[in-house]
Chain A
Amino acid sequence: MPMYQNGEVDPAVKALEARQDEILRKLYELKAAVEGLAKTVTTPDADLDLTVSSSLSSQSSTAVFTGTTDLDALLGKDLGALRDIVINANPAQPPLTLLVLHRLLCQRYRVLSTVHVHSSVSSVPPQLLSCLGPRHPDSHSRHMFQLGFTLIWKDVPKLQMKFSVRNMCPIDGEANVARFLFKLLAPYPSDPALATLVDSWVDAAFFQLAQGSSEERAAALRDLGSALGRSAWLSGPDLSLADVACYCCVLQSGSAPSAPASVRRWIKSCENLGCFSHAKTLLL
């Protein structure tokens, strides 16, 4: 609350006061966020009160991903056109991970999301056509967006991403595309051990949890259980790509009910974040 309302006050004092107010506000928000986080992690069954969860989900991008927002630095020089990420996915295997990451990207950037059906595919279920959410009201002017996310349902054996066709070869595999997208949200941990850990979880998610035999899947679930017994998220205190990938693959393989308690608690924590809950509705 400003105490002096006449215009006589020294502007420097006013600025100082404004700064103080801002810091206090941020502190309160942070406190609320931390409390909310603690609640989700420790008591996943507890119903979060709406204010906390909404502040949490809106904060999640700033609280969790404190990386650079400078797309120029990440993706190279701006040529005055939309940077469009094209993803070719087979409608028989919807890439849940990428849909979660898409949500996170939308919280961070102005993303123009479009879904197309390629002529190699004859029909696509309606929930896949609307999987990137409703159309942005400004979608008629493409230049107003920072990032394009173009999902094409196509008859491809393996998910594929095309970005800068002149400088990059197409990226194959959902896991690799997920790594690319996540780096737009937050840099990988600077600790090489931790970064490798994230990578190995992503591999475990796709090769064991999603595509593995029943024994491999069970083993991966056990690993997941013991890791989640030690910390709230898979690679330490922060949400990382490891969590996104493993969550989606567990969901897709349908092995959630038979998972250890720590895994089920973690699943609940994930689902308490807005961006995850959406993926579940797309499972056929």
Chain B
Amino acid sequence: MTKESAQGAAEEEQQAQSKKGLKKQQKEAEKAAKKAEKQAKVAAEQQSAEEDDFAKDRYGVSALVQSQQKLDRTLVRVQDLTPEKADQLIWLRARVHTSRAKGKQCFLVLRQQQFNVQALVAVGDRASKQMVKFAANITKESIVDVEAMVRKVEQKIESCTQQDVELHVEKIFVISQAEARLPLQLEDAVRPDGEGEEEGRATVNQDTRLDNRVIDLRTTTSQAVFRLQSGVCQLFRDTLTKKGFVEIQTPKIISAASEGGANVFTVSYFKTSAYLAQSPQLYKQMCICADFDKVFCVGPVFRAEDSNTHRHLTEFVGLDIEMAFNYHYHEVIESITDTMVQIFKGLRDNFQTEIQTVNKQFPSEPFKFLEPTLRLEYTEGVAMLREAGVEMGDEDDLSTPNEKLLGRLVKEKYDTDFYVLDKYPLAVRPFYTMPDPHNPKYSNSYDMFMRGEEILSGAQRVHDAQLLTERAQHHQIDLEKIKSYIDSFRYGAPPHAGGGIGLERVCMLYLGLHNVRQTSMFPRDPKRLTP
């Protein structure tokens, strides 16, 4: 290759490069011009928008509510938004459940507890383009104050609880802004188990729910569960109060374990140690000896059992009953079962909405019961199990699978989800259980079952100090440790019986749920101490 030719080639290259460079430059210039144009346009638009936004005062983020002013404004509840309210201008505070913008319109679903309603922000003489944009950008779960006109709709809105009306928003202010990212989506948390898998959508597992309990508790299902639970408590109190019971409060920090020391929590108590109460058993009985006649108690109970099952918690709410009777402990069984039946009836008659809400996510058959409650004897239960092919001894305790099987057999024959099994073998019951006068192998004790799972364990207690001592010795219990307990019966004690129910279990089984953590607001189990 010669120098010239090489030079020429380089020149050519240069020329070509400069040509390319020119083109490039040109293009870039064009781009820049366009960009500038665009920017100018946007700026102009923005400027004009800012200038034109006639609805500026109708939306925005409110100042922190620090109780600066006391507005004379009535906030309507979402559940009250019915066709009767049509064409009224109302104020409302709710959460933004979902928002969906579509051109000049933005649809919001506003939620308040388990109720929700559709709201619409549309460009018009009341709302500007900017307002619609603002509404569309409000993060989910933010709390907003809305002024809106209630309008009837022609087609029912199937996705909302308020199906007959929608809201035409005139003002919208954010009271509390939620962070954009939620740890779980509410829609995912209420999706029935089977559905998510079919559509390939997410469901939220129990641990995620419990870790983010505050958000999970906002779901319609949780709202319904805990409203119903409150109902159970109230019905329990009301029914017993009507029957002449007295509500008592008992200490939860105790000096000695009441039912065997194995499953109690020990706490340090100044220079010594104490226990957390497994049940108010002792105190209930002491109240009976102190002439309170019929007592009940609602409060926390602690079990240090290291069992991670669907129905065990380490702390739960106990509903405890103790009652003096005249001649037969069945007087007490009847009183307790009647209380339960009143609770079931009260739930059936007053909590239908809640029951149906829970059923949407966790379908189950309605809870069935008989009035008066069915009472079977232990021997009958054993006979039914043997007929079904279960091999068990006369005095064996019921295993959990056998309990469930018996529940199914009873349901099949009597069509009830609630029954009493009476006359348990003495050997499987605690020392303070009264023996059966006709057959010393059996005892005056009973369990109550809901959907085949035990919810109450109770018995006639030994109210005679002498017999109590004998029974304790038979169970090889150190008499020194229970001295104060036995002593309470030395100065005249009426015959009495009682039992205790777990509130969470009752709710779980009434609703046919599968895990007791679903009915405990902040569940405590061997592996969970937070939130």
Q: What residues of chain A have their CB less than 8 Å away from a CB belonging to chain B?
A: 79-82, 84, 86, 88, 114, 116-120, 140-143, 150, 152, 154, 162, 164-166
Contacts and interface: CB of A to CB of B under 8 A. Distances in A.
B328 A140 contact: yes
B380 A82 contact: yes
Contact of B370 (A119, A140, A166): A119
Given A118-B370, A119-B369, A164-B387, A88 B376 contact: no
Interface in B333-362: 344-345, 348
Contacts of A165: 409, 412-413
A99 to B, nearest CB: 19
Nearest to A140: B330
The contact size tier of chain B is 20 to 34
Given A81-B383, A81-B384, A116-B371, A152 B414 contact: yes
Interface in B246-273: none
Interface in B400-422: 409, 412-416
A166 B388 contact: yes
B377 A143 contact: yes
B27 interface: no
A86 B376 CA distance: 13
Given A80-B379, A140-B328, A166-B388, A119 B413 contact: no
Contacts of A120: 368
Contact of A119 (B367, B376, B377): B367
Contacts of A81: 377, 379-380, 382-384
A119 B344 contact: yes
Contacts of B328: 140
Nearest to A81: B383
A118 B341 CA distance: 11
Interface string B372-404: 101111011011101110000000000000000
B414 A86 contact: yes
Contacts of A164: 387
Interface of B: 328, 330, 344-345, 348, 366-372, 374-377, 379-380, 382-384, 386-388, 409, 412-416, 438
Contacts of B438: 141
Given A142-B376, A142-B377, A166-B388, A119 B383 contact: no
Contacts of B382: 80-81
Nearest to A156: B415
A181 to B, nearest CB: 17
Given A165-B409, A165-B413, A117 B376 contact: no
Contacts of B416: 118
Contact of A116 (B345, B374, B380, B383): B374
Contacts of B369: 118-119
Contact of A79 (B367, B387, B415): B387
A142 B420 CA distance: 13
Contacts of B366: 119
A116 B370 contact: yes
Contacts of B377: 81-82, 141-143
17 contacts: A79-B386, A79-B387, A81-B379, A82-B377, A84-B380, A116-B371, A116-B374, A117-B371, A118-B415, A118-B416, A119-B348, A142-B377, A152-B414, A152-B415, A154-B415, A162-B412, A162-B413
Q: Which of B348, B369, B387, B438 has the most CB of A within 10 A?
A: B387
Contacts of A80: 379, 382-383
Nearest to B344: A119
A163 to B, nearest CB: 8
A84 B376 CA distance: 10
A148 to B, nearest CB: 9
A118 B370 CA distance: 5
A83 B412 CA distance: 15
Nearest to B349: A122
A143 B378 CA distance: 10
A84 B412 CA distance: 13
A152 B370 contact: yes
Nearest first, the 3 A-B pairs at minimum CB distance are A81-B383, A116-B370, A81-B380
Nearest to A117: B371
Nearest to A163: B413
Contacts of B368: 118-120
A143 B379 contact: yes
B154 to A, nearest CB: 37
B388 to A, nearest CB: 6
B438 to A, nearest CB: 7
Nearest to B341: A119
Contacts of A86: 413-414
Contacts of A88: 415
Nearest to B329: A140
A120 B417 CA distance: 13
